Amino acid sequence: MLRKPQHKHKRSELSVMTRYAALVMALISFASWAGTWQLRQGDEGVMLWTQPHPPTSFQALRLEMRVNADPGALITVLRNTVRH
């Protein structure tokens, strides 16, 4: 009597497929979100981006810049909220 081979990996394959599907959906939503930012100003290596924030009249802001510093020192500065 021949037995059918059991598929031990079926559940893990489904889990991997679900993870890939979630990743694809996240990338699609991130790409659509990222497309709405508009560069407003770029001076001396600092770029200012804005994005509408409905239903309010406020604008979301994003600043980008390169910093030549040790990551630990940068975190220390950012966590020192008393100074800024």
Q: What is the pLDDT of residues 15-71, one digit of tens each?
A: 777 777 777 776 666 555 555 888 888 788 889 989 888 788 888 888 888 888 888
Q: Domain locations in the chain?
A: 10-83
Model pTM score: 0.43
Distance CA 72, CA 79 (A): 11
Distance CA 35, CA 77 (A): 30
Cα 27-32-55 angle, rounded to 5 deg: 130
Q: DSSP letter at 8?
A: T
